[in-house]
Chains A and B, each alone.
Chain A
Amino acid sequence: MNVQVLQEVIRRSALEIRGDGKAGGGLVLAFQSLASLFSRDPSMHVQEWPFFGSARRGANIRSFLRVSRSPIQPACEVTHPHVALLMDEGAGRTVDFAQGVPLGGTFILNTRRSPEECARHYRLSGRVVTVPGDELGAKCLKHAIGNVSTYLAAALAIGGFDGGEVVRSFLETLRKRRIPDAIVERNREALEASAPAIRSGVFDEAKANDHAPAPFEGYGDLPVGAQTQLRLSQGNRTADYAPSGFRLRFEDPSLACTGCAHCITNCPEGIIRFQPDEVRGVLVTGVDVTNFCKLCRECIAVCPEGLFRQVPFQDVWEEAAAT
């Protein structure tokens, strides 16, 4: 397996980059920042655009970027990217972010995990770059958003820029958007903190056809009630809209529930569990967070007894458990 030299790809044809993440997670910002960085070279042609599957915060989204020294004609989506970026591990549960990437491609992940762990878990063959963008965002920007760190990681992985130019371009983009100076300065801190946190390695963990694009097999039956089926399908699990790393928890060991039913009536997904109760009318017994809890926090806001909480939650990977 030869690792692709991305500068060589740009010299020969068009560099294609694809990213997966969640709406509101910084993916589009990261790609726009990369587009601005490449556009500083007057001879470079850039095409950057997002794909929104749903207009809901937390829904899976994709971003695409083409870079070439020749005018870019194709308008179709990038299906065999040279670089695949995973902005949100939650998105990685429902899509194969590495789909179509040829052997020797580059993978950039916003994660606390190591490149080796990621290579094994996602079965990646090529160069794997990781950066804990959400953590750094929370620390420097007061917001767990990984666009700054992943932008830097991607720019450095692609190469051809000096570090100062990568930082200047990003900050200039913010200033053009009239972002207040104090926020710009925090972004500078996030960029500076990201550089030493980037880890990379070359791995060969993919098996044949691991990431082969799945052939389109039609839209399937869309009978009466198809919208309801769509709503209930695994492909529309609103639980995946929740911020990664957190989960809703209901605890009522002393049976403090008053039966006010505010949580039941306010939950947009209808996932509050309850049973009839002679005294209270109803007694809330729990919440089914399996598929449709998107952590909208309505129940947390309305419960007079404070029985709902948002608690940290981390997927346990086999690799991590083994080590």
Chain B
Amino acid sequence: MSARGTQDVVRTHRSTPSGERYEGVIDLERVRARHRPLYEKREAITADGNAAAAIATLQMWRCVIFAGFPITPSTKWIEMVAAHVASDPGGVRRVKLPEAEHAVADYLVGAAAACRDLVFPTATSSVGLDHMTETTRSLGASGLGNVMIVNVYRATANFPLCIEGDPSDTLAHRDDGFIQICASGKQQIYDTIVQAPCLGMHPDVLTPTMPGYFGIKDSHRSAKFLVEPDREIHAFQDRWMQPCPLPGLINGDTAFGACVTSRHFQGFKVDQKRRLERTIDLLPEVAADFETSFGRPGLAFFDETGWPEDGVAEVAVVGMGPDFGTFESLRDRYERQSGLRVAGVALRLLTPFPREQLRERLRGARVVLVVNQAHHFGRGHITLDVVDALSDLAAPPRVVSVFAGMGGADVAEATWTRMLDHARRALDGTPVPPYAVFHEGVPV
């Protein structure tokens, strides 16, 4: 560090209960001023999911350093970011390609702890996320809400090796401590990544975020979506991202690596859980501001389809991801043919799980069909959460659990029809197995 730089640090150094702070070492206004806008006005573009995610991060002035390690199907995110950064020689942005995903996560820790007002994104998939696990578990507790891992879903099991996208990676990481949000379709991917750090960096939450979307089915699927001008993105985010201290029980020097006393550690774990749960209160506020700013819905606990005003449905589907769109496209027809009211929700906020909101939505359903798309030892990750959410009701709906699309398999209309038929059997009390597996319209 130069002599002048040292003087600056000394001048700005300050001890606080939250740790050591070096005010003004990073001149945020200068960083902001050096941002090179991608879009000056709203535009409709056609691109795939990884491009939508890359554009969203590149539009944030707070994203200056991008770390990544390529793994299918998330690779295009870092490729696109790197190409953009390379096209601006002399710019402030940098791309770091450490030697593995674990190193990427470690790099994010150091950078995010040092620069808590900036956002540090990466993207990964499958075993790449697994490889980060030691650090993601620590990150979840760290209070570093300015870390964002974009998880492009891909099955974690690599025997035999395949690249298809099912959400078993993200669902296996429910307990890492991240705010996990599922997006479906290019617009949602873009919008979710714009909003995610607003949740994570909020002083009441301070929890890293893991927005995600299905690999191949969404990461490699192109469609039209709206991109907003960079200045509007900045104005929106700056309303939510304030100077970002670490949580009170721990300071920046001891968040990673150094030991603390048991009492502090235990208190920190309790606080971690509380901070994560506050996401439930904050998310609607961020979403409402997003809708006011951009004229389309912001984040949601879940997306809804087909619910009548009285909230009563014979069959309610709970699913996630782009395959839910196929259900939406045949729902009307199925209702007409079966004479049943059929509705559904596509989960968005996976962690923390919006159990009370989901319980109220499903309260009027007679049968709830939960569609799981990832390997689970029992009835399914989503099923367990739905059953728990409904357990407070005096007369909860029957829950019918199915698996489809595992290993990234196509979930055809015929499969949806068969699954709905399967759920109908439960309407008259016919016993159904704890779970059933469907593919191509056939139980397997």
Contact = CB atoms under 8 A, between A and B. Distances in A.
A50 B72 CA distance: 14
A207 interface: no
B440 A52 contact: no
B222 A52 contact: no
A49 B164 CA distance: 13
Interface string B306-329: 000000000000000011111011
Interface in B205-253: 216-217, 220-224
Given A49-B221, A54-B163, A72-B223, 11 more contacts: A46-B223, A49-B217, A52-B163, A55-B161, A73-B325, A74-B413, A75-B322, A75-B323, A178-B83, A216-B439, A216-B442
B46 interface: yes
A160 interface: no
B8 interface: no
B46 A46 contact: yes
A69 interface: no
B180 to A, nearest CB: 21
Question: Quick one: which of A46, A47, A55, A215 has the most chain B CB within 10 A?
Answer: A47
Interface of B, secondary structure class, is loop
Which 7 interchain pairs have the tightest Cβ spacing?
A: A216-B440, A49-B221, A75-B322, A73-B329, A39-B46, A48-B222, A75-B325
B163 A42 contact: no
Interface in A183-229: 215-219, 227
Nearest to A230: B160
Interface string A57-95: 000000000000000111111010000000000000000
Contact of A36 (B46, B325, B412): B46
A50 B76 CA distance: 14
B163 A49 contact: no
Contacts of A42: 44
A55 B46 CA distance: 25
B217 A75 contact: yes
8 contacts: A36-B46, A46-B222, A49-B222, A54-B162, A73-B328, A217-B442, A218-B442, A227-B160
B94 to A, nearest CB: 20
A35 to B, nearest CB: 5
A113 B129 CA distance: 48
A246 interface: no
A216 B413 contact: no
B323 A49 contact: no
Contacts of B322: 75
Interface in B391-409: none
Contacts of A47: 221-223
Interface string A18-57: 0000000000000010011001001001111111101100
